[in-house]
Structure 1
Amino acid sequence: MNAPKNPILIGIIAGLASAILLAAAGYASLFGVILIIAALASVFIAGLGYGLASSLAAVAAAAIATAIVYSNPMSFVSMGLMLFPAVVMSYLANLARPATELGGPDTAMAWYPLSDILLAAAILTAIATAVTLLLNSDIDAIYGILADTALGMVQEINPELPAGSVTKEQLVGVFQIALPLLQSLQMVIALFAGFYVAVRILTAAGHSARPREDVRVSLRMNRLSIGVFMGGILLMFGGAKIEVIGAALAGAAAGGYLLSGFAIIHNALRDKGWRMPGLILLYLLTLMLPIIPVLLVIAGGLANPRRAIALTPTKQTPTPTNHP
C-alpha cells in the first residue's frame, strides 16, 4: 500500500465528516443507525487505510467540531470517548508479524486476531460509556424523565394497577443499570459495523493493509471476555457508581457475544439451501420479539469463545500501517 502524502489532512476530513454524520443522526431517527455507522466508518477508513496519526486526527477534529457547534466542553469529551475505540481497533487491525513467531509457516504473515480486536472494543466502549454517564451532570434528571415516562406508560396500559405497586424510585434503579448496559451493547455493534464497512471500502479501493477474512469464522470473543462479562455482572450489584461501570462492562461484552452468535449462525447456514429464508426469519424474530432471540444468540456466542488468526503470504502482504 502506498503511503498517503498527508494522512493528517485525511484524518481531519474524516473527523469532520464523522461529526456531521453524528449530528445528522440526532435529527433523522429513521436513518439514525445508518448515519452512526457511516460516521464510525469514516474514522475507521482513516485509521485502517492511513495509519494511527490519521485516526487520531479524525477523532480530534470530530471532538473539536462538536464542542464548537454545541458550545459545550462536555461534548468534546463525550465525542472523543465515543470515537476513541475506533482508533485502537484500527491500530490493532493493522498489526502483523511473521507467522513463524506463532509456530506458523515462514512464508506467511499473521494478523492481529479479530477476537482480540472485538474484546478491546468492548472494554474501551464500556469505559467510554461509564465515564460519559458519570460525568454527565444531568444524568439524574434523565433517569427521572425516563422513569416518569415508563410509569405513565404502565398506568396507561393497566389503569387498574394499585397505586404504589411500581414506584418512580424502582424505575430509576432499573434505568441506572439498563441505560449503560444497552448503550454499551449498541455501541459495540455499531463499532463493528463501521469497522466492517470500512474494511470493505478500503479493500475495494486497494488501500487496506489487513487482508479480507471470513468474518463468519473469525468473529468470536476470546476466552478472556468471559471474565470481563462475569466481572461486569458482579459489579452491577455494587450500587451507586459501581453498578454503572458493571452494567457498561456486561453490556459491551454481551454486544460482542451477540455479534459472535450471529456469525456462528451465518457459518452454520453457509451451505444450506434455505440459508437466506432462515436468516431473514431470524432477523425478523429478533426485531419483533427481541428479548428471547437476542438472549439465545448471546448464549451461543458465549458458548463458543476462541481466537482465529488470519494469515497471508509474505509476498502478497502489503506493508502494515502499524508495527507491533
Structure 2
Amino acid sequence: MTQQSTSLLVGLLAGISAALLLVSAGSPSSLSFILFAAAALPILIAGLGWSNLASIVAVASAMAVIGFVTTPQAALVSAVTTLAPAAWIAHLSNLARPAEEVGGPDGAVIWYPLSEIVVRIALCVCIGLVAVGLAMGYGTDFVSELVDIFVSSLKESNAGYQPTPDGIAEMKQFFLYALPAIQAAMWVLILLAGWYIASAIVRLSGRSKRPKDDIPSQLRMPRTGALALGAGVVMSFVGGGIGLIGWTICGAFGASFIVAGFAIAHHRTRGKPARGLVLWAAYLSTIIFTVPLAFFLFLGLFDTARTLTGTGSGPQSKP
C-alpha cells in the first residue's frame, strides 16, 4: 500500500471516528462532554502521524457522516469549531525549517514554535465561535430564552427557588457576556489538551515527526498574544456584537496566558524540595476558588517570549 493510499485510509477511519464521537455527544448523557472534547483527537492523530492529506480526508469524511446522520448545519458547525482547527494545528506542528535560517547550527532543524501553536489555537477558537454565534443569532433574545429555560428547570427541581424579576434580568445580562468568554476559554483548553494527548500517542507509535516539546520551559505566549488580549479587553467595553467578540477574544487568549502561567510555575519550581506540594496547592486552590487564575494570567502576561524547538534532523519544509 502506497503512502498516499495509507493516508486516505487513515483519514477516512479518523473522520468516521470523529463523527461518531460528535454525534454520540449530541445525545444527553454523563459522557457527552468527554465525547465532545475527544472528537478532535482522531483528526490530530491523523495529521500528526501521517500527513496533511490524512487530516483533510478526515475532516471531509467526518462532515459527510455528520451531515448525513444529523443536518448539514451541524456538520458545518463541527467543521468550524473542531475538525478544521484540529487539522490546522496538526499541520503547523509538523512544520520545520533549517536552523541556519534563524542563526542556528548547520544541519539542525527548528520546528514551528509552541507559543505560536497556542496563539493559532486561540485564534481558531475565536473565529469558530464568532462564526457560530453569527449563524445562530446569538444575542439578548437568545440568552433570554436560554436563561428562562434554565430558571424553569431550577424551579422544577427546587420549589423554593423563586428569583425576582431583577435577579433574572441580572442573570441574563451576566450570561450574555460570560458565555462567550467561558466557551472560548474551555475550547482553547480542550484543543490544547487534545494536541498534547495526540502528540503523546503519535510519539508512542513511533510516527511522530516533531520531537517532544518541553512545555514548562518553552510555553511562553508571544507579544502578539498580549496585543490580541488587549484588543479584546478594549472591545469588551463596547456594546453590541463588538463587545461580544471582545469577550470571546478575552476568554480564548486569557486561557492561553493562564496555561502559560502554569507552565512558568512548573518551570520555576523544578528541582525545589516542595515542588509537588506547591503545584498541588496551586491547582487545588484554582479549582476551589478560581481567584488564583488571575495570578497565573498575570504571570503569563509578564513573561512573554518566542521559544523554539530544535533537533538534529527532520524535514526541510518551511512554515
So what's the TM-score if we normalise by structure 2? Answer: 0.88
Provide the residue aligned with 2:44 in structure 1.
44
Q: How does 1:1-324 map to 2 (within 5 A)?
A: 3=3, 5-27=5-27, 30-70=30-70, 72-83=71-82, 84-137=84-137, 142-148=142-148, 163-168=164-169, 170-290=170-290, 292-314=291-313, 317=314, 319=315, 323-324=318-319
Distance 1:306 1:30, change over 3 A: farther
Task: After TM superposition, give the deviation of residue 124 of structure 1 in Å.
Answer: 1.3
Provide the C-alpha distance between the structure 2 equivalents of 1:254 and 1:21, rounded to a whole number of angstroms: 28
Alpha-carbon deviation of 1:244? 2.2
3-state DSSP of counterpart to 1:204: helix
Q: Distance in 2 between matches of 1:223 and 1:260?
A: 13
> Which stretch has the larger CA shift, 205-214 or 33-42?
33-42
What one-letter code is carried by the residue in structure 1 that aligns with 2:65? A
Is the Cα–Cα contact under 8 Å of residues 66 and 72 in structure 2 kept in the other structure? no
Q: 102-111 vs 56-65, which deviates more? A: 56-65
Is contact 1:37–1:193 with CA below 8 Å preserved after alignment?
A: no
**How many residues in Structure 1 have an aligned counterpart in Structure 2?**
314
Residue 159 of structure 1 and its aligned partner are, at CA, apart by 7.6
User: Could you give the per-residue CA deviations for residues 213-257 of structure 1, whole angstroms, max 9, x where no partner exists?
Assistant: 211111221110111111112222332222222111111101211
- The structural deviation recorded for 1:284 is 2.0
How far off its partner does 1:141 sit? 5.4
TM-superposed deviation, 1:59: 1.7
Quote the offset at 1:171 in angstroms: 3.2
Change (3 A) 1:21 1:151: closer
> Which blocks of at least 5 consecutive residues in structure 2 are unaligned?
none
Cα-to-partner distance string for 1:57-82 (whole Å, 9 max, x where unaligned):
21222222222222x22202210101
The C-alpha deviation readout for 1:260-315, integer Å capped at 9, x for no partner, is 1111111122222332233223222222222x02222222112211111000013x
TM, length-normalised to structure 1: 0.87
CA apart distance, 1:110: 0.5
For residues 108-167 of structure 1, the C-alpha deviation after alignment (integer angstroms, 9 at most, x for no partner) is 10111010111111111101011111211576554124433676779x899898x55435
1:32 Cα deviation from its structure 2 partner = 4.3
Residues 159-208 of structure 1: per-residue CA shift (max 9 Å, x gap):
898x554352x433322211111111111111110101111111111111
Q: Is the 8 A contact 1:81 1:128 kept in 2?
A: yes
Amino acid at match of 2:113: P
Equivalent-residue separation in structure 2 for 1:37 and 1:137 (angstroms): 24
> 1:211 offset after TM fit, Å?
0.8
Question: Deviations along 1:9-32, whole A, 9 cap, x unmatched?
Answer: 211211211122233334475444
Query: Which letter does structure 2 place at the counterpart of 1:299?
Result: F
CA distance in 2, matches of 1:47, 1:39: 14
Distance 1:268 1:3, change over 3 A: farther
Q: Which amino acid aligns with 2:256?
A: G
Moved more, 201-210 or 297-306: 297-306
Greater mean alpha carbon deviation, residues 298-307 or residues 206-215: 298-307
Asked if 2 retains the 8 angstrom alpha-carbon contact of 1:257 and 1:302, the reply is: yes
3-state SS, counterpart of residue 222 of structure 2:
coil
Question: Per the alignment, do residues 193 and 157 of structure 1 end up closer, same or farther by CA in structure 2, a change over 3 Å counting?
Answer: farther
Structure 1 unpaired stretches of 5+: none
- SS of the residue corresponding to residue 186 of structure 2 reads helix
Distance 2:139 2:23 in 1: 20
Q: Is the contact made by 1:232 and 1:247 (CA closer than 8 Å) also made in structure 2?
A: yes
